[in-house]
Structure 1
Amino acid sequence: MTDTQASTASGSGGDDREVSAATIRQISLRLMPLLGFLYLIAYIDRQNVSYAKLQMVGDLGLSEAAYGLGASLFFIGYFLFEVPSNLFLEKVGARVWFARIMATWGLVTVLLGFTSSPTMFYILRFLLGAAEAGFFPGVLYCLTLWFPHSHRARAVGYFMVFSAVANAVGAAIGGLLLDMDGFLDLRGWQWVFIVTGVPALVMVPVVLKVLPSGPQEARWLSDPQKAWLKGVLDLEKAADHVADHSNPLKALADWRVLILCAAYIGFPLGAYGLSYWLPTIVKGFGVSNTVNGFLNIIPWTMVAIALWWVPRHAARFQNQVWHIAAPPLIAAVALIASVLVEGPVLQFACLCIAAPAIFSGQPVFWTLPSRFLKGATAAAGFAAINSVGNLGGFVAQTVVPKIKDETGSDLAPMLFLAACLTLAAIAVLFAERRLPRAERSSDY
C-alpha cells in the first residue's frame, strides 16, 4: 500500500500526506490512552492474584500447586469464551461490548475479595476469565478498523505498554494493600481484590459515553480524514491474499491461524510464568511486602520501554520476523542465568532482562494475522490465536509449580520456561515464511 494508492482511493489531492499524518496522530491521541487505560485495569485485575497469593494460600489452606491450579482456571474460562466474545463485539460494536466486559470483570474481581473456600476461589477465577474474554483480541481487531497495516505494530506496542504499567502499578499497590491487613477487619489479600476491582466498574459509563465503535462514529475525525482512512483500509482488505469467510468460524480451521496459534502459545507461557511468580521470587530475597512491590516496578518499567522501542525499530524493516523471534531467545538465556548466577542483585538483573525480552516481540507478532484476515474472520482469528496462546498461562500456573514441587529445584522451572520460549521463536520463524507478505506503505 503506497501513499499514491491511498490518495487515489480517498479522493484527496496533493495534501494527502498531511491528512494521513494528522489522522494517525489524532487516532493515536484520542483512542490509545482510553483503550490502554482499560487494559491497565484489566491486567491489574488479572495479575492481582500474584500478590494476594502471599497471604491467601495460608488463609485458604492451599498448597502452591493447588493455588496455581485455581489461578490458572482464569485461562480456561478465557479460552472457552474468547471467540464467541469477539464475534459478539463485531456485531454490536466496541463501545457496548467493552462496557459489558468491564462491568462483569469488575464485579467478579470484587467478589474474589470475599472468597471463603478453595472451591469459591476456583469458580470465581474461572468466571473472571469468562468475563474478560475478548477484551485483548477485541482491541486487536478494533485496531484493524483504525490503523493501516504499517502502523499496527506501533499501535499494539503503545497498547501493550499499559500492561507493563499495570504490572508496575499493581506491584506498588499490591504490596501496599497487603500491608493494610486488619483494616476494617479485612485481610490484606481481600483489600487487593476489592480495591483493584472497583476501577473497572467506575469506567463502564465512561466507555459508553466516550468510546466510538468505529472511525465513522468518531466526531473528532474530519470528513477528509475518514475518507483517507477508509480508502487505505479498503485497498488493504481488497488484496487477493486477504480472507473474509462467509462463516467467520471457518477461521478456526484456517491452517495459517492454526500455525500462529502454535507459535504464540510460548509467549504467554513465558510471560505468565514470570509475572505470576516474580513477586514470590523477590520475596525470597528477604524484603517486606511494600519493598517487594516497589522492586517489581523496575522490570515492568523496562518492559514498557521495550514495548515502545521494538515496534518502532521493526517499522524500519520490510522483514520484521527477527523482531518477533529474537526477544524470546534472549529471554530464555536470561531466565536460566537468573538461577545460575549468585546473589540477589545479579539474579534480579537477569529477571530485568528476561521480562522485556518476553513481551517486546508480541506487538510485531500481532501484525501477522492481519496479513491474511479481515472483517468478522479477523475477529474470530485474533480471538482463536489469543485464546489458544493464553492456554500457556494455564500451563505456566499448573506445570511450573508442579515442576518446582516435584524436583525441589529452582533451575528446573526456568529450564522449562526457556525451552518453551525457544520453541516459540522457532515456530515464529517457520510460520512467518508461510504467510503472504504485507505490502509496505510509506511512513507519514
Structure 2
Amino acid sequence: MTAIPTPADDLATTVAKVTRRLLPFLLLMYVLAFLDRANIGFAKKAFQADAGIGDAAFAFGAGIFFIGYALFEVPSNLIMHRVGARAWMCRIMVTWGLVSAAMMFARGEMAFYVLRFLLGVAEAGFFPGVILYLTYWFPNAMRGKAMGLFYFGAPLAFIFGGPLSGLLLELHGSFGLNGWQWMFLVEGLLATIVGIWAYFYLDDRPADARWLDAADKRRLAAAIGAEETHKAAHGPTGTLAALANPKVLYFSAIYFVIQMSVYGLVFYLPTQVAGLLGKSVGFEVGLVTAVPWIAALAAAFVLPRLADATGRQRSVAAATLAMAGLGLGLSVSTASPLISLVALCVAAAGFIAVQPIFWTFPTSYLGGVAAAGGLALINSLGALGGFVAPNVKTWAETAFVSKTAGLYLLTGTTFLGAAMILAIGVAGLRAAAPVAKRSGAAI
C-alpha cells in the first residue's frame, strides 16, 4: 500500500526543489568570493618580488581587506534586506570582480593596501547576505544541511582554484603580463560575469519564484512565517536592539576566534605546502594544496548532517573546532611531510565544517530586520579575525624568533573558540529554540 505523504514530507519535497535551484548557484558565487579574497596566498612570493612588498606589508595588506569588509557589512546587509537579493548580489559581485581584476596593476605598498581595502568594501555583505537569504527559503530544521552545502564553496575554491591559480601563475610572460597579473585578471572577471548572471537567475523571495507552484509557496510561507513569529517573541526585533544584544555580541566573539584560525591557515597554506614539497608555488603545489580542501569538502557534507540528526549542534561544533586546532598544531610540530599534510587535512576539515554548524545558532535566534543587522554584525566582527590573524602570526614569529610560533599561537585561539562554543549552553547564552525541529535542540 502506498504511503500517504504527510505535511512534513510535502515540505521536504518543496525544500528539495529550492535546494536544487538555489544551492548550486550560491555555491558558485561563494567559490569565486573565497577565491578572490584568498588567491593572494598563491601569488605571495612572485607578487611580493614584483611589487616590492615585504612580509610585514604583505600581512597587513592581506588583512586590511577585512577592515573594509567589516566597516560596510551591516549597511550592505540592511540595503539587501530592503532592495532584494538579486539586485544587491549583482552589485556586490560585479564591483568585487572589477576591483580584484585591478589588483593586476598593484605596485608598491600603498596601491596594495588601497586595492585590498576596496576589495573588502566591494565584497561586504555578500556572505551575511547569503546567510540571510537562506533564512527566506529554508526552515530552521533544514537550514544546517543547506548551509553545509553552501560551505562547499570554500574547499571547492581551493580544490579547483588552487590548480587554476597555479596554472595562471605559469602564464608568466604571456602578452607581457606576469603570472600573478593573469591570475587576478581572469579570476576577477569571472566574478563579474557571474554577478551579471545573478541578476537574472535569483529570486528575492519564494513568492517571486515562478519555478515554485502555489502549494510550494504556501508551505514555505507557513513554515518560515511561524519561525519568524517565534523569533520576534524571543529575540531582538530592531536593528539597534540586535547590534547591542549580548547574545549577538557573544556569537560575534566566537566567530572572530574561528576566523582568526581559519585565515591563519588560508593565507599561508600554499607556501606551507611548497615548503613541504621543496618547490615553488605553481601548478604542482596547487594540486597538493587542494588535498586538505578535499578533506574539508567531506567534513562539510558529513558533520552538519550529524549535528542536525543528533540535535547536538553545540557539542559537535566544539569537537570539530578542537579537532581543527589539533591538526593545525601537529602540522608544524612534526618533521614528516606526510604527517604534516595529513594534519593540514584535519585542520582544514575542522575549520570549514564548524562554520555552517555555528551559523545555526544565530539564525535560530534572529529574524526580520534584526537578522539583517545582527548576522552582518557577527560576520563583520568575525571577519576582523582575518585581519588580526596574519599580523599576529607575523608578530609572534618575530617576537619569539620562530617560524612556527605564529601557528602555535593560532592553535591556542582555536581551542579558545571551542571552549566558547561549549559556553553557549550556560544560562543566559542559549539562543531561543526554533518552532519546528526534526530532531533535538537547536543548540
Shared fold (TM-score, shorter chain, > 0.5):
yes
Normalising by structure 1, what TM-score? Answer: 0.94
Aligned match of 1:200: 191
Distance in 1 between the 2:359 and 2:114 partners?
31
Cα distance, 1:440 vs. partner? 4.6
Distance in 2 between the 1:357 and 1:88 partners?
33
Aligned match of 2:434: 438
Aligned match of 1:180: 171
1:74-121: per-residue Cα shift (whole Å, max 9, x none)? 000001000000000000000000000011101101100111221111
One-letter amino acid matched to 1:194? L
Where 1:219 maps in the other structure, the secondary structure is coil
Cα distance, 1:322 vs. partner? 1.1
Q: Name the count of aligned residue pairs.
A: 430
Q: Which of 216, 223, 242 in structure 2 is aligned with 1:232?
A: 223
Aligned match of 1:303: 296
Distance in 2 between the 1:299 and 1:171 partners?
11
Cα distance, 1:361 vs. partner? 1.2
Cα distance, 1:427 vs. partner? 1.1
- Taking only the aligned residue pairs, the percentage that are identical comes to 38
Q: Does the 8 Å CA contact 1:266/1:420 hold for their aligned counterparts?
A: yes
Matched, 1:36 2:37: no
Matched, 1:332 2:325: yes
Aligned match of 2:372: 379
Matched, 1:280 2:271: yes
1:386-409: per-residue Cα shift (whole Å, max 9, x none)? 110111100112111222233332
Q: Does the 8 Å CA contact 1:79/1:390 hold for their aligned counterparts?
A: yes
What are the residue-to-residue correspondences of 1:213-224 with 2, within 5 Å?
A: 213-224=204-215
One-letter amino acid matched to 2:390? Q
Aligned match of 2:47: 56
Aligned match of 1:68: 59
Normalising by structure 2, what TM-score? Answer: 0.94
Distance in 1 between the 2:137 and 2:234 partners?
17
Aligned match of 1:317: 310
1:308-335: per-residue Cα shift (whole Å, max 9, x none)? 1111111112332111111111111121
Cα distance, 1:21 vs. partner? 2.0
Moved more, 401-410 or 283-292: 401-410
Where 1:372 maps in the other structure, the secondary structure is coil
Moved more, 170-179 or 106-115: 170-179
One-letter amino acid matched to 1:102? M
Q: Does the 8 Å CA contact 1:242/1:371 hold for their aligned counterparts?
A: no
One-letter amino acid matched to 1:179? E
Moved more, 280-289 or 47-56: 280-289
Kindly indicate whether structure 1 or structure 2 has the higher relative contact order, using CA contacts under 8 Å at least 6 residues apart: 1
One-letter amino acid matched to 1:325? A
Aligned match of 2:391: 398
1:10-57: per-residue Cα shift (whole Å, max 9, x none)? xxx964234212201100000111111011111111111111112011
Query: Structure 2 unaligned runs (5+)?
Result: none
1:130-182: per-residue Cα shift (whole Å, max 9, x none)? 00000000000011110000011111110010111012222111111111111
Q: Which of 76, 93, 98 in structure 2 is aligned with 1:85?
A: 76
Q: Does the 8 Å CA contact 1:19/1:224 hold for their aligned counterparts?
A: no
One-letter amino acid matched to 1:243? G
Distance in 1 between the 2:425 and 2:435 partners?
15
Q: Does the 8 Å CA contact 2:56/2:394 hold for their aligned counterparts?
A: yes
